[in-house]
Structures are given as structure tokens and as C-alpha cells.
Amino acid sequence: MEIAAVGSDNPDAYGLVRAGTAGIETFSVPLERGADAEQRADWNSRLRDAVLSYDPEVLVSSGFMRIVSAEFLDTLRRADGRAVPMINTHPALLPSFPGAHAVRDALAHGVKVTGCTVHQVDSGVDTGPILAQTPLR
């Protein structure tokens, strides 16, 4: 499988620089801080259109600190109509410690074992089916 493109909601993200240096196409779809529901819906549509312009087989999210809408996920379809699954990396062993502060929360809880998870994205926050996990001590 090839990387079709690397995208971000932050046009200054270092991942875009690294991808560009490696000859991989990049794109950015910014979302204003404090965006209202209408602006978020518009952002989800623009993000979906940008992603689908590359006709990906899978959408991989890593370090992407935004929640996409259920409509975004439902309309993420390839040119041939097949659904594009979205997967995400998460720095904790889900279902424990979902959300943006997983590492901080795990440390505050005093866990003896933590780890990382790869899961399919659904309309919840880190609630999709778990695809892989690795524990760390």
C-alpha cells in the first residue's frame, strides 16, 4: 500500500514538511478555534472532499486532535462506492483513558501497564473497534 497524501488541520504541521521532503503530496484543511456548529460541518465537508480527492483505500489518523462527524465517516467513500475506513493511533490501552489527555490521565491514575492502541474510528471518542494494542511497562 502506498501513501497517497498527508493532510493536516494545521498548515504549519511538521508532518507536512516531512511528507513534502519525501515527495508525498500534502494538503491542509484548517478549522478556526472556537468554530460553531455550522463552521464545523463545513470543515467536515471540506476535509472529506480533500481526502477523497486522493481516492484512498484507508484513512490513517495519527496525532490528529480533531473529532470528525458521523456524517464525515458515513460519506467517506471511494470513487467506486466502497467505504474508506478511518483508523487512529491512541497513546493508551483503550477502552481505558480515551480522549486527548490519555498519557496524563494514565500517569495520574498510577497504572502499572500502559500502551498504545490502533482502532477504527467511529462517531464516538476513541470508541471504535480495536485493531491492535501493545502494552508497555
Catalytic residues: 90
Distance (Å, whole) CA 118 – CA 116: 7
Cβ 115 vs Cβ 92: under 8 Å? yes
Strands (E), the chain: 6-8, 26-28, 59-61, 86-90, 114-120, 130-136
Going by the DSSP 8-state scheme, the letter that residue 83 receives in this structure is B
